[in-house]
Amino acid sequence: MEIIKEISKMKEISKLWKRKGYKISFVPTMGFLHEAHLALVRKAKELGDKTVVSIFVNPLQFGPKEDFREYPRDLERDLTLLEREKVDVVFIPETEEMYPSDFQTYVEVTKLTTGLCGAFRPGHFKGVTTVVLKLFNIINPDIAIFGEKDYQQLQVIKQMVKDLNLDIEIVAHPTVRENDGLAMSSRNIYLSTEERKSATVLYKALLLAKELINKGERDSQNLKNKLEEFIHSFPYTKVQYIEFVDPLTLEPVKKIEKPVLCALAVFVGKARLIDNMLINLE
């Protein structure tokens, strides 16, 4: 496994691979890897001839009051895990090389980013699309894998790829969960033992939404009220949003008549956790 820091070196290797006709698959990450990242890596290995994983905690996608500084980092452990997966290249650029002092170009998907997390994290998706496009340009992958836990991010990236005519296949990977249903996330490390117990409420709330819809509830406001009450019955929780949206446009749905995405953002202690579920009508 090769560890590359310089953008020019990464571009060189990728060009060489392309000349040899290799299919490059790519998994972008912010490090502090867990089983869900490794599942994406395994998928990438299955789909491509050469696999690149990037580790870069992207300052552009954090708001001024968010956890950029505290975001968990453990490069040594990450590299051990990736070596075990037989990744070909780990790309770890320096912030100064990604964003030199005269950096001034951004890419923004406008509509899909207005609701859900976008409503509470201004500039977040602009930071995500800008860094992901830069990584795509540097690595030049044929395939890139994203997890469905960050459902809005996945849709936003797909839209960017479509709008900007990028020749990259975006592959969605299902959310990987702990045994008790909690979606795996690097931010779960922020949870105390007691908060960790409460954190299972996100998945339980999604299952409750599914059950209520299957029993005939079609009014999303009624569903939101019931879910909010349920979530707040668990200690340390504070709902940021509960939304029922169209799975493609992410527009809010008032009356549920076709498959709907239920998406949640909940603070458990200081950890802001998100989760979602696509609910089909039975």
Please pick, from the candidates 112, 131, 182, 262, the single residue that binds ligand PAF as defined by CB under 6 A. 131
Q: Is 176 in the site for ligand PAF (CB under 6 A)?
A: no
- 160's CB contacts (< 8 A; 6+ apart) are 107, 109, 129, 132, 133, 166
Taking the complex as a whole, the smallest distance from the CB of residue 150 to ligand PAF amounts, in Å, to 5
Q: Quick one: 90 or 279, whose CB is closer to ligand PAF? A: 90
Residues recognised as catalytic: 37
Taking the complex as a whole, the smallest distance from the CB of residue 36 to ligand PAF amounts, in Å, to 10
Q: Which amino acid is at 144?
A: A
Q: Quick one: 14 or 58, whose CB is closer to ligand PAF? A: 58
Q: Is residue 27 within a helix (H) or strand (E), and if so which, with residue range?
A: strand 24-29
Q: Residue 276: count other Cβ atoms within 10 Å of its Cβ.
A: 23
The answer on whether 147 is annotated among ligand-binding residues is yes
Q: Is 205 in the site for ligand PAF (CB under 6 A)?
A: no
Please pick, from the candidates 28, 93, 115, 269, the single residue that binds ligand PAF as defined by CB under 6 A. 28
Q: Quick one: 51 or 237, whose CB is closer to ligand PAF? A: 51
* Rounded-to-integer distance, Cα 145 and Cα 10, Å: 19
Cα separation values, 22 from 84, 89, 143, 271, Å: 22, 14, 12, 40
Please pick, from the candidates 4, 13, 30, 143, the single residue that binds ligand PAF as defined by CB under 6 A. 30
* Rounded-to-integer distance, Cα 2 and Cα 31, Å: 16
- 84's CB contacts (< 8 A; 6+ apart) are none
- 40's CB contacts (< 8 A; 6+ apart) are 27, 29, 145, 146, 147, 173
Q: Quick one: 64 or 216, whose CB is closer to ligand PAF? A: 64
* Rounded-to-integer distance, Cα 194 and Cα 86, Å: 36
Q: Quick one: 132 or 260, whose CB is closer to ligand PAF? A: 132
Taking the complex as a whole, the smallest distance from the CB of residue 107 to ligand PAF amounts, in Å, to 13
Question: Using alpha carbons only, what angle is made at residue 183 by residues 177 and 189, rounded to the nearest 5 degrees?
Answer: 115
Q: Is 128 in the site for ligand PAF (CB under 6 A)?
A: yes
Q: Is 150 in the site for ligand PAF (CB under 6 A)?
A: yes
Please pick, from the candidates 13, 17, 24, 29, the single residue that binds ligand PAF as defined by CB under 6 A. 29
Binding-site positions for (R)-pantoate: 61, 153
Q: Which residues make up the interface to ligand PAF (CB under 6 A)?
A: 28-30, 58, 61, 128, 131-132, 150, 153
